[in-house]
Structure 1
Amino acid sequence: MGQVRYFARGGKQVTQALYERLDAAFADEGWPIAHIEIDEDADLHEASVYFEGEGDADAQTLDAAFAPLEPTREDLPDIDWMAQVLADLKPVRAGRFLVHGAHDRDKVRPHDLSIEIEAGQAFGTGHHGTTAGCLSMIEEVVRRRRPVNALDLGTGSAVLAIAIAKLARVPVLATDIDPVATLVARENIRANGQHNFVRAETAKGFDGPAFAAYAPFSLIVANILARPLMMLAPQMARQLAPGGDLVLSGILAKQRDAVLAAYRVQGLFHRKTLRRDEWVTLHLTRNDRPLD
């Protein structure tokens, strides 16, 4: 079953408003939303939403989000685009971490922490600014204060869970709402030799039996989206151990203050913001005392 894309074009102001409506309607469900410039001189832009199949698009919600514009439907072929472009992806270096495909094993240096991830069905080859930002922040946090255990919430390809395990050598729970992502994560965990440290499970938020065996966590990493991060703030606070560290990403720079406000209410304090392109990665802790 291939992807289905619904899109509309118009001026920047109109399509930006459409993008925000699509984000409010579908981002929490995990459907990708995009807003791109087609022609700067003509002020032509495009906003779109992607679904895995026709049945995934609720017609009433779709019409309400696009109104008053008329959406155009495009059926996309069932092709693993990530695998198709893998050969063009270069290794990504973030601190000591090097994320690469099998075809770039020769790029690994003696002191690198190598993470081999093939492009596939799950998000997270390290090329996105949020993943690279999390890797850099994880190295900083673990270097300062080694965790007892960790959670990678919304693990995708498990690149962050693998990174934590390789660096800290502690138990890591990696969860994702998508069972396909969980299967891919397990494959990557085993391929990187971290199956004795990392356990991958399918779970929505913090709803799952695996949490009872691990929580509370001294390190939580969540690279998802700003809106669900804000909604999960109370649960994040409950799952974080005293003195624990929280690394959040999937956040646009313009969303930073709103996310921080949601966590400040829960007694979690901002320590550092790392910016990569238009994205930010945040480090928060349970208290505002000086770090160890």
Structure 2
Amino acid sequence: MEVTREDVERAATLIAGRVRRTPLYEAAPGLLLKLEGHQHAGSFKTRGAFNRILSAGRLPDAGIIAASGGNHGVAVAYAARALGVRAEIFVPEVCAPVKVAGLRALDAQVTQTGAIFAEAYEASAKRAAETGALEVHAYDQPEVVAGQGTVGLEILEQAREAGGVDTILVAVGGGGLVGGIVAAVAGTVKVVAVEPERIPTLHEALARGGGPVQVEVSGVAADALGASKIGRIGLGIVREAGVRAVLVGDDAIVRARAELWRDHRIAAEHAGAAALAALRSGAYVPDPGERVAVLICGANTDPSTLG
């Protein structure tokens, strides 16, 4: 694996004190919810942002630059402000207004350009080449993947105290989160990757047996899971570990998000509810007695849309 458990453990040490140990609680018998929406900046992305920036050592005068569907940018902006450096963030036009507002509240310079993440990324890479700013990729850098994997270590530790866990369900966009978690927990618990039917980047790459493939991006979770290609690092880790990828429809995601708010008062964005949607729709059916941890990966949403 390009990113190993040792890399994740080093990341956990490096970012300790910078990120929150988010709650894991048993919502129903055998169902554990990992609430990464409680993380600084509202998503797991803060873990990878801090690990990438802190691993770089001395930062350039131009600061930090990133492209994002929204959550990664907010996380990078949060980390940059905490570390006292400048952040420039590029987001696509589909970026949720609440995330754009969050970026500006964190003093980031925001450029909204392109219809999808890939176009915003192209613009950010060009700008980074001009300025010399440190690039913090949304999902396809080893330090970012290792940082995201620290949530997997937490799930293992917390679940041990709660009666154990057999399977972790993880939503997939660019693959940094699932890759990091697989690196962290490989050989101990099963990981199942969950993607929207309308953005099947991992599913298509695994089905074709080669590298990342281009897919169309649309649907309710496109602002957060809208990578048009799976990342090379995450794909390699997932393929080596034999991870299964399942698909969920937009209707199932919407229902799962509504359930989280109605039954648990958990505010989740659509991407944050995708992993639960796999359970509720039957895309993943646990065996009798199987204990499943569902990662609620983000909470950057407009509260007025919750119900």
Would you call these one fold, judging by a TM-score over 0.5? no
Of structures 1 and 2, the larger Rg is shown by 1
TM value normalised by structure 2: 0.34
TM value normalised by structure 1: 0.35
More strand by share: 1
More helix by share: 2
